[in-house]
Amino acid sequence: MTLTRRSALGMVAAIPLATGCVFDPSAIRVGSKNFTESFVIAEIYAQALEAAGMRVERLFNLGSTQIAIAAMERGDIDCYPEYTGTALIDVLHLAPIVDPGQAYSVVARLFERRYGIVWLAPAPMNDSQGLATTRAVAQRYRLATISDVARAAGLLRFATIQEFLARPDGLPGLQRAYGGFRFREIRTYDIALKYRALLENEADVASAFTTDGAIVTDRLAIMRDDRHFWPPYNVAPVVRRVTLNKRPQIARVLDAVSARITDRAAQAMNAAVESAQADPSDVAAAFLSFDKAGATK
């Protein structure tokens, strides 16, 4: 993501990509980055491929986006979950694109050309930045959109991380795009403590990621980005072209599960791992089992 993701959350044992490892050449090697949502979605991919009769090796908790891309280029992994906004801004170093379809088209074209990596169908889930508040505060100040927060900011206390106050896609960008945003008070917190400030009435609004598990756990309201300031961060499976040429069925299997990963589903799965200490593999299995039963995500 554009801002630092949940580095302290979702503690899953690392599976190092050690030099000299002997891989099963018949297996599809699924990787993940180093935060809860990436673990869970990668596990969904792995279990879906296994259910389709393919052998899978898991190489999770690789670290940053740059490490994951390098592992793909070396052929150490065959696929992993990536975000359109991350690919566009942090990998390709291009300006943000607010249209989800256009952003996907650009990253899909350039990733295949530069890296030999194919983007499969994106999920409807968009793990973008956002602003969160409690339902009581939203009702008291009539907050439903980011424009509403900009208007009422002089009455509100804002909880965020230090980085959000300086980045162009943080508070300075919101002030340029929406006007206003002169909060009554601003306090900075550790990334894991912002929501506690809302619940303990130390703050009225907090910066957020829109699929954070705390949104479900704490029954928070996310403000609608009515001026489309933040770019989309739809997640999708990215697969090495050489792997896809050998196993074209990968696309069919992963496209089917991606179509069902919504914001609400991601929030619930993140909450299960981060708040209920569920194992990501169990959370992924429950998602796929529920999905097979024909339930709507």
Q: Contact 297/291 with Cβ under 8 angstroms?
A: yes
Query: Which pLDDT score, from 0 to 100, does residue 291 have?
Result: 56
The span from the CA of 95 to the CA of 276, in Å, is 38
Instruction: Sort strands 56-59 and 117-119 into parallel, antiparallel or unpaired.
Output: unpaired
Domains of the chain: 28-126+233-292 (3.40.190.10), 129-222 (3.40.190.120)
* Total Cβ atoms within 10 A of residue 102: 13
Nearest to 83 by CA among 5, 177, 168: 5
Taken as a whole, the chain contains a residue count of: 297
pLDDT in tens, the chain (297 residues): 444 444 333 333 334 443 344 567 789 999 999 999 999 999 999 999 999 999 999 999 999 999 999 999 999 999 999 999 999 988 999 988 999 999 999 999 999 999 999 999 999 999 999 999 999 999 999 999 999 999 999 999 999 999 899 888 899 999 999 999 999 999 999 877 899 999 999 999 999 999 999 999 999 999 999 999 999 999 999 999 999 999 999 999 999 999 999 999 999 999 999 989 999 999 999 999 975 655 443
The span from the CA of 247 to the CA of 5, in Å, is 32
Whether the CA torsion 11, 15, 19, 25 is positive or negative: it is negative
Residues 6+ apart with CB under 8 A from 79: 28, 29, 30, 31, 45, 72, 237, 238, 239, 240, 243, 250, 254
Counting Cα atoms < 13 Å in the Cβ hemisphere of 266 gives 27
